[in-house]
């Protein structure tokens, strides 16, 4: 699945080339996309964190409809990141604001629960170190993407 983690501490540079792209869809509606580049290790760590967070969060036997939808979104995101991680090297990640928020929330929950825990699983050590350094950049990009999505210049034009 993912490569075995080999280090307790890694130095992580925040995401590269983060930007917001606003274009028009086929129907003329504005489309806001958050774009950023991550190395293969950060993408693999992200896939691990999102998958673990989804598993831990939705471990209960019964879920509401909203929880089922959130679980599906996190599972799809984890699969997308895992697919990107299978190819080595730097990759551009492109997410709509809602999916970026889900990604940020999953990474934040992963980091927070590991920081609060008395012990940590070996397979969580390197992803935790990599994602802790990425979290601030993710939060900033998420805020920028939401501002862009709610901006009057991206509002749909009246017919």
Beta bridge partners of 35: 19, 94
For the beta carbon of residue 45, count every other beta carbon within 10 angstroms.
29
pLDDT tens by residue, 81-98 = 999 999 888 999 999 999
β partners of residue 91: 38
pTM: 0.83
Contacts of 117 (CB under 8 A, 6+ apart): none
- What are 29-84's pLDDT values in tens digits? 889 999 999 999 999 999 999 999 999 988 877 888 998 999 999 999 999 999 99
3-state secondary structure of 26: coil
Residues linked to residue 21 through DSSP beta bridges, in sequence order: 33
């Amino acid at each position: 699945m993912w490569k075995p983690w080999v280090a307790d501490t890694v130095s992580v540079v925040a995401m590269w080339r983060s930007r917001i792209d606003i274009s028009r869809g086929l129907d003329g509606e504005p489309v806001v996309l958050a774009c950023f580049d991550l190395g293969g290790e950060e993408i693999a760590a992200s896939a691990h964190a999102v998958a673990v967070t989804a598993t831990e969060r939705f471990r209960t036997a019964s879920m509401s409809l909203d929880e089922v939808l959130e679980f599906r979104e996190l599972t799809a995101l984890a699969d997308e990141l895992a697919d990107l991680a299978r190819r080595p090297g730097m990759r551009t990640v492109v997410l709509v604001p809602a999916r970026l928020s889900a990604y940020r929330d999953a990474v934040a929950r992963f980091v927070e629960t590991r920081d609060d825990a008395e012990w940590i699983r070996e397979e969580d050590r390197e992803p935790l170190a990599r994602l802790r350094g990425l979290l601030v950049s993710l939060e900033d990009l998420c805020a920028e993407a939401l501002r862009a999505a709610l901006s009057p210049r991206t509002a749909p034009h009246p017919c």
